[in-house]
Amino acid sequence: MVDGLSGLESLRGLRSAPVLSSEQQAELRQQLHPLLERCDWFTIGVMAPSAAAAVQALRAAEQANGWPALELDPAGEALAAIDGPVFLKGNQNTGRFLVRRETGLGEGLLITGHSPADPDLEDTWGPLPLAFFG
């Protein structure tokens, strides 16, 4: 891994996703895939420089993992009205996502797996690079 990172566990606590080579990303995807398979549903957080970048990262994660596409929560602000850095919060349980302006964040993806039947499987992974699934 890069800069002393040795796997998914070493990403915990980072403010932003590290820059990773394609080989390092492939290694992390191999570690992440079986963990995701054990969970029933997911929440995803995307820290991005724009709403468009956040939604693009969300859509790439959905496609790569075979997740159904989340819908923009109608209670939230229109994406086109949001300038600057954002935090996107997606929830498979509700089928929706929200995007809010948020300055001072890092950049990257945070995925939390949920398993009501076996809470020991639940965890949060990341931050992963925005293009991790792209």
Q: What mean pLDDT do residues 89-114 have?
A: 95
pLDDT at 4: 54
Residue 73 belongs to what domain range?
A: 8-128
Cα 3 to Cα 17, 20, 40, 109, distances in angstroms: 12, 10, 33, 19
Task: State the CATH number of the domain containing residue 21.
Answer: 3.30.360.10
Per residue in 6-56, pLDDT (tens digit) is 689 989 989 999 999 999 999 999 999 999 999 999 999 999 999 999 999
Q: Is residue 76 part of a domain?
A: yes
For residue 65, the SS3 value is helix
Q: What mean pLDDT do residues 55-73 have?
A: 97
- Check residues 90 and 1 and name the one with the higher pLDDT: 90
Could you identify the residue written with the tokens 């995007």? Answer: 99
